[in-house]
Structure 1
């Protein structure tokens, strides 16, 4: 079976699609990836690549075709929009030329924000006479208004029309959270074309975005005291002000618990300034580490923290870091509403508190860090078992391949 994966992001950028592509290839699927020139998250094209070139490369048997794009740049909403639009244009115009003569049994879109990147795949699916599967990672247009990126109702309406067009031409929509079903169903024409497909946890990521700083020193520092680790993107959705407020409350109560906020993002600079302004000695910002370092960092922590803002759309989301946290075998503190909190509680892997409530978060941190080691170990083991059962990469890969084969067979029968 030949599968075309369509994604703006791919190795050496660190995204979940990397491991899924490798897992499919290891099962005998001929995988081709059409993607852009790597520049996430720093907004600068990686060494060895060029923004305005096309390129072809092989990675562990996976064929990677890259189209030109405008890099994201740094802290520029306009530049980010141009980045998205340039990939759309390049994939639409240059992509077909790079794919000329090739045939595929399915087109699979990995669709983190923006979902609009799936537009060229609609044409590619029609051109190659292959079924189209879109793995939605974010609800659009809802996420635009929730993050404040777009608030104009006319613009949101236009985006909604484009999203409806994409769904109307998609054979199967995969959703990482059951709560995505109803919002998508309002836009999708058929109730039967939506299926639950969660993000898997990945212990051995394919590729890393940057060289690692002194990992051993950080691991030793985290392990030296009661510690809570938050890892991932540092943006508006993550409710970082709630974490800082909670850290301030924990410190005011005289508890010697340290917060390690590992990662980078649009609010990195604000976060550093705020930590200094507040004089938060119990908050450390070690920066961004490659995904290959995460399991070592998680293993050294007393507990792992995941947080999102108090917005209705985020209550429908299971943050992609949750499966990895569960697999790490450490207690989880979920400052979340809705689906993400439900998974942590259902797994008996930690505690949940309302999103945006810094006092409740401080209470949860003190509670978890005050538990006996044996109790925390049981929580971690519960999480590990839950992750293996519900988010294991091998099982999810087999499930995806079976779906793609079924769709391809249906498309072939229809053509005949």
Structure 2
């Protein structure tokens, strides 16, 4: 079976779709990737890439067609808009002149921006093949939540565009069960929408021995946050929780970086917080070894409606590592942590409750901690194991191809 995989982001950028592509290629699928020149997350082209070169390459046996783009740079409005628009513009010509093969299915990994799905619509129309859309971010909800654009012509235009994308898709996969309600409102009630959640990367499931020298964690009960230090993660509330636990022998460890890192460092110094430590960014393959050193893991998102229907992928990574999870998050992510009995989740922005749960977890007996850790791993294996999810996707592709 021949599949065209479309996403603005692909290896060496780290996204879930990479694993689908390489795993399914090993299964015997003939996969071609249409993507952009890699420049996420730092905003500049990866080493060895520029605007003009490497328009076509083979990675792990997979043919990759790259459309030129303007790099996202700092991520501010104008360069980011140019980045998004340039992918659409140049991908149009890629679809017209560089796609020589006939495919059976076009599969789109739709992150931000949702417009990255447009080349998928063009291929579907030209080749008269089914389109599978994997929605990992809701538009225009995400724009409304994270930018100054709350309503008006731009939001209305994006809403109409997204409705068209949904309408033209044969099957829509959603990474969060809560996405279904939003998408259903934008398309026909007969549209096939299936739950296809995130999974943990292999490094968290098949942990290998490492000789890497990692920073030593301080004495005490260590709660670790791993990932992007951005606006969405609500570090204002995390700092409040840090302050509330400064006399409880609890440390808050930050592994990662992002646009708010310098602000965070300034706040730590300004507030004289001695129980929060920033370790910086480390490669993905080191994360299981960091997690092993931590007593509990932290996930947080702001109190914004769209985040209440979002499940951060780090929850699956934490579960696969068999870790206790503390969450300051609304909606489905909150329910996931509490229902699996692998930790405690409090409402988004509730720093006081997070502090209390942190203290509670720090005082659990070793037996109680082991029970929570086992619950995390068991829940992951039963609900998010990659082999189960990929088997589900494999059956979906075969069924769709047979119908076509």
User: Is TM more than 0.5 here?
Assistant: yes
Q: Does the CA-based 8 Å contact 1:54-1:68 persist in structure 2?
A: no
| Separation (CA, whole Å) in 1 of partners of 2:201 and 2:398 | 24
Which deviations, in whole Å up to 9, do the C-alpha atoms of 1:229-266 show, x marking residues without a partner?
Answer: 11112222111111111111111xx1121111222222
Cα gap change, 1:3/1:200 in structure 2, threshold over 3 Å: closer, same or farther?
Answer: same
| Separation (CA, whole Å) in 1 of partners of 2:14 and 2:280 | 15
Q: What is the 5 A alignment of 1:68-87?
A: 68-87=68-87
| Separation (CA, whole Å) in 1 of partners of 2:253 and 2:190 | 43
Find out whether 1:221 has 2:217 as its counterpart: yes
Q: Does the CA-based 8 Å contact 1:226-1:257 persist in structure 2?
A: yes
Find out whether 1:240 has 2:257 as its counterpart: no
2:280 alignment partner in structure 1:
287
Q: TM-score, normalised by structure 2?
A: 0.94
| Separation (CA, whole Å) in 2 of partners of 1:233 and 1:128 | 39
| Separation (CA, whole Å) in 1 of partners of 2:139 and 2:230 | 18
Structure with bigger RCO (C-alpha 8 Å, 6+ apart): 1
1:179 alignment partner in structure 2:
178
Partner SS for 1:217: coil
| Separation (CA, whole Å) in 2 of partners of 1:105 and 1:250 | 56
1:305 alignment partner in structure 2:
298
Q: Report how far residue 292 of structure 1 moved.
A: 1.7
Q: Does the CA-based 8 Å contact 2:39-2:45 persist in structure 1?
A: yes
Q: Report how far residue 150 of structure 1 moved.
A: 1.9
Q: Report how far residue 56 of structure 1 moved.
A: 2.1
Instruction: Tell me the number of residue pairs that the alignment of Structure 1 and Structure 2 aligns.
Output: 398
Partner SS for 1:333: strand
Find out whether 1:270 has 2:277 as its counterpart: no
Partner SS for 2:254: strand
1:117 alignment partner in structure 2:
116
Find out whether 1:296 has 2:289 as its counterpart: yes
Q: Does the CA-based 8 Å contact 1:310-1:336 persist in structure 2?
A: yes
Which deviations, in whole Å up to 9, do the C-alpha atoms of 1:40-70 show, x marking residues without a partner?
Answer: 1110111111123352222222222211111
Q: TM-score, normalised by structure 1?
A: 0.92
| Separation (CA, whole Å) in 1 of partners of 2:362 and 2:61 | 45
- The runs of at least 4 consecutive aligned structure 1 residues that moved more than 4 Å come to none
Cα gap change, 1:395/1:56 in structure 2, threshold over 3 Å: closer, same or farther?
Answer: same
Q: Does the CA-based 8 Å contact 1:33-1:62 persist in structure 2?
A: yes
Q: Does the CA-based 8 Å contact 2:170-2:191 persist in structure 1?
A: no
| Separation (CA, whole Å) in 2 of partners of 1:49 and 1:204 | 27
Q: Which moved more, 1:130-139 or 1:283-292?
A: 283-292
Cα gap change, 1:96/1:387 in structure 2, threshold over 3 Å: closer, same or farther?
Answer: farther
2:161 alignment partner in structure 1:
162
2:207 alignment partner in structure 1:
none
Q: What is the 5 A alignment of 1:184-203?
A: 184-203=183-202
Cα gap change, 1:279/1:52 in structure 2, threshold over 3 Å: closer, same or farther?
Answer: farther
| Separation (CA, whole Å) in 1 of partners of 2:286 and 2:161 | 38
Q: Does the CA-based 8 Å contact 1:329-1:377 persist in structure 2?
A: no
Q: Does the CA-based 8 Å contact 1:52-1:69 persist in structure 2?
A: no
2:208 alignment partner in structure 1:
none
Q: Which moved more, 1:61-70 or 1:166-175?
A: 61-70
Q: Report how far residue 376 of structure 1 moved.
A: 1.4
